[in-house]
Amino acid sequence: ILGAGYDVKKVSPRQKLVDDVLEGKVSGSVILTASGGGGHEWEMSKDQVAITNLPATSKAHTTVDNLTEGEMWYFRNRPILKNGNMGNWCGWIKFMIR
């Protein structure tokens, strides 16, 4: 291909989303991702007992802002199924806010 003067197209494999919490672009924010596509419900908690519901999304990711640096939080999600039912909650994901 190169000998004929053509460029080789670089293909990067598409990464499958997993249940995860990542540092946000701004201090005190996190990006939550969920396995599978489609809508998801989200929750967060400091102790896995007192739970704060986050807004549901139509995609498998969301951002949470205005968290205090140095605090430990737990996050989880569950899929919103096509028939209107809800899937199972994923396990709690522990994350230290930076």
Cβ atoms of residues 39 and 59 within 8 Å: yes
pLDDT in tens, 52-98: 999 999 999 999 999 999 999 999 999 999 888 999 999 999 999 99
Q: Residue 70's pLDDT is what?
A: 96
Helix H or strand E segment including 12: none
Maximum C-alpha span of the chain: 65
DSSP state of 59: S
For residue range 2-19, list pLDDT tens digits in order: 677 777 777 666 667 899
